[in-house]
Amino acid sequence: MSTGLAGAGPAAAGLAIETHGLSKRFGQQTAVDAVDLAVPHGAVFGFLGPNGSGKTTTIRMLLGLAAASAGTVNLLGRQMPDEFHDVLPRVGALVEGPAFYPFLSGAANLHRLDAAGRHTVPATRKARVERALERVGLEHAARKRVHAYSLGMKQRLGIANALLSPRDLLVLDEPTNGLDPQGTREVRNLVRSLVHEGTTVFVSSHLLAEVDQMCTHAAVMSAGKLVAQGPLAELRQAGSTRLRLVTPDGGAARRVLARLGLPPAPVDGESGKPSPDGETIVAALVTSVQPPAPLPEEVVAHLVQAGVRVRGFAVERESLEDRFVALTGEGFDVAQ
């Protein structure tokens, strides 16, 4: 479903999206469990989670498309759903895939959807439709009937509908679904341009690489619960860091690492793995303990002083995918 109501107002102070104890139950099943979201103004906020984690249900409650069983929702400083008449004209959304009249052209669909808005201006409709189609790269297909559109083209048309008028907040559920690499890059660039114009963008996605390149903040859902949120850099830093050492002097290297408080461990099953240059040793680097772990260059200095031949040394931070798996216990091969 694609929604997009016209009329943007000044950004409210505080958070663009704020929830407290947001919950949704279906009978005895709890789909969303006491979620406290905090989405800053001006952020590109990635909303992550495996299939069935409650992402889409949460989005539907944010927009007033589903009633919450408990908790509160504030969009742009206004309480939802009580003040939806004031809030939704400032919000554009693409949720659960776009739906259009298949035998009308893309431009004709946008004209009809724009005309349904209570606050739209008929005199500027044609120009706004053309501008929205141009922004998503569909100006060449404006007169083509939608039934001839590919899935990616329909996805772009849904985003164009959400952009018919200026927005303070844009909510996108899987915006790159069905897009080829070029289309995905275009959506990424579009999101960046919207942020530069002052729009907050909330993106639900299963593509970690896209979230990594596009988003400034993120939240992770698992089994209906919010298990992590914050700036993307902080989420990465909260993960583990490890040292990877290649040396022909495995025994001596292990003794040095143990003395430094870095006992080798089969973090990924690679400790002890032979290589042409010797043996690969992996050790977890814990920086949050007291006293803190030595700096990587200090580790190398201790190894060399002990006569250990260092033929390879690297510091590896946990990837976003590794962090996701650690938080949810699941792989990231879903498309909710």
78-92, 103-117, 130-144, 197-211: range with lowest mean pLDDT: 197-211
Q: What are phi and psi of 22, to 5 degrees?
A: -65, 125
- pLDDT for the residue numbered 7: 36
Higher pLDDT, 165 or 238: 165
The whole-number average pLDDT for the span 215-224 is 90
CB 23 within 8 A of CB 205: no
Whether 240-317 and 2-236 are alike in CATH topology: the answer is no
Strand runs labelled E in the chain: 2-4, 15-26, 29-35, 38-40, 44-48, 70-75, 78-80, 91-94, 169-173, 200-204, 217-222, 225-231, 241-247, 273-275, 278-285, 312-317
The whole-number average pLDDT for the span 305-330 is 77
Reply yes or no on whether the pLDDT at 174 is more than 50: yes
Average pLDDT, the chain: 83
Collapsing DSSP states into helix, strand and coil, what is residue 76? coil
Reply yes or no on whether the pLDDT at 3 is more than 60: no
Core vs surface per residue 148-161: b (16+ CB within 10 A) or e: ebeebbbbbbbbbb
Higher pLDDT, 208 or 285: 208
Could you give the CA distance from residue 334 to residue 336 in angstroms, rounded to a whole number?
A: 6
pTM above 0.75, yes or no: no
- pLDDT for the residue numbered 146: 94
Cβ–Cβ contacts within 10 Å for residue 276, how many? 6
Helical spans, DSSP H, in 69-143: 84-87, 106-115, 125-135
DSSP 75: E
Residues contacting 109, CB < 8 A, separation 6+: 100, 101, 146, 157, 161
Reply yes or no on whether the pLDDT at 334 is more than 60: no
Could you give the CA distance from residue 246 to residue 242 in angstroms, rounded to a whole number?
A: 13
Higher pLDDT, 39 or 228: 39
- pLDDT for the residue numbered 333: 44
- pLDDT for the residue numbered 236: 72
**Which fold would CATH assign to domain 240-317?**
Alpha-Beta Plaits (3.30.70)
Higher pLDDT, 199 or 12: 199
Residues contacting 275, CB < 8 A, separation 6+: 246, 312
- pLDDT for the residue numbered 32: 95
Collapsing DSSP states into helix, strand and coil, what is residue 136? coil
Reply yes or no on whether the pLDDT at 8 is more than 60: no
DSSP 288: S
Reply yes or no on whether the pLDDT at 223 is more than 80: yes
- pLDDT for the residue numbered 285: 66
Residues contacting 302, CB < 8 A, separation 6+: 256, 259, 260, 294
**Which fold would CATH assign to domain 2-236?**
Rossmann fold (3.40.50)
156's enclosing H/E stretch is: helix 151-162
Angle (CA) 31-36-42 rounded to 5° is 120
Q: What percent of the chain has pLDDT over 70?
A: 82
| 32-41, 148-157, 169-178, 282-291 — most confident range | 32-41
- CA nearest 308: which of 252, 258, 259? 252
Domain boundaries, the chain: 2-236, 240-317
At 260-305, the pLDDT tens digits run: 888 776 545 455 556 666 788 877 665 544 556 688 889 999 999 9
